């Protein structure tokens, strides 16, 4: 589960000019260790037991800071909830409408706007929506 040391996390924060507070390390580490594209609330819920004084505001502030420093990216795959991803390289996402899980799709090349539009994309989101294999399997069982 721990695919990155606390040392590395602290180094990354310092490298981006972010002072590595206990809370920031916790949030950033959580994202490093759980590639589940969590919402701010999920992060808060999961960290609360280990950091009883943690405030939800701090989670929001930290996420905003990490995004501003390009240490994480926002995944806007569904309205009404922002999700966060330590992987800042371009990759697509698939959201299952049954289990709501978000699956990474790495084998799609980064897209550009058509030449003739003259538009330059600073960032791109490619989102697919459907039913994942697991949930499809369960549905077929029942019928």
Partner DNA sequence: TTAAAGATTTGTTATCATTACAATTTTCGG
Partner DNA sequence: CCGAAAATTGTAATGATAACAAATCTTTAA
23/42 Cα distance (integer angstroms): 15
Q: How far is the CB of 27 from Zn ion (least distance, A)?
A: 26
Nearer to its own copies, 100 or 113 (CB): 113
Residue in 134, 21, 129, 41 with CA at minimum distance from that of residue 84: 41
Nearer to its own copies, 49 or 80 (CB): 80
Nearer to Zn ion, 69 or 98 (CB): 98
Q: Judged by CB under 7 A, does residue 51 bind DNA? A: yes
Q: Which residues bind its own copies (CB under 8 A)?
A: 74, 76-82, 92, 94, 97, 103, 105, 107-108, 111, 113-114, 116-133
* CB-CB contact of 102 with 77 (8 Å): yes
62/43 Cα distance (integer angstroms): 11
Q: How far is the CB of 55 from DNA (least distance, A)?
A: 4
Q: Judged by CB under 7 A, does residue 61 bind DNA? A: yes
Nearer to Mn ion, 29 or 58 (CB): 29
* CB-CB contact of 93 with 37 (8 Å): yes
Q: Judged by CB under 7 A, does residue 39 bind DNA? A: yes
Q: Per-residue DSSP letters for 78-116?
A: ETTEEEEES--S--EEEEETTT--EEEE--SPPP---GG
In this structure, the dihedral spanned by the alpha carbons of residues 111, 114, 115 and 121, taken in order and rounded to 10 degrees, is -50
Q: How far is the CB of 45 from DNA (least distance, A)?
A: 11
Residues at the interface with DNA (CB under 7 A): 18-19, 21-24, 39-41, 51, 53-58, 60-62, 64, 79-82
């Amino acid at each position: 589960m721990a695919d990155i040391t606390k040392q590395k996390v602290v180094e990354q924060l310092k490298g981006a000019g972010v002072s590595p507070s206990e809370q920031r390390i916790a949030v950033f580490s959580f994202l490093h260790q759980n590639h589940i594209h969590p919402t701010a609330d999920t992060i808060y819920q999961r960290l609360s037991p280990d950091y009883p004084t943690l405030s939800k505001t701090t989670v929001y502030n930290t996420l905003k800071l990490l995004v501003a420093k390009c240490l994480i990216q926002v995944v806007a795959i569904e309205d009404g909830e922002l999700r966060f991803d330590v992987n800042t390289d371009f990759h697509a996402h698939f959201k299952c409408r049954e289990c709501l899980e978000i699956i990474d799709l790495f084998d799609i090349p980064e897209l550009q706007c058509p030449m003739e539009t003259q538009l330059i994309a600073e960032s791109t989101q490619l989102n697919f929506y459907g039913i994942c294999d697991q949930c499809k399997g369960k549905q077929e069982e029942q019928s």
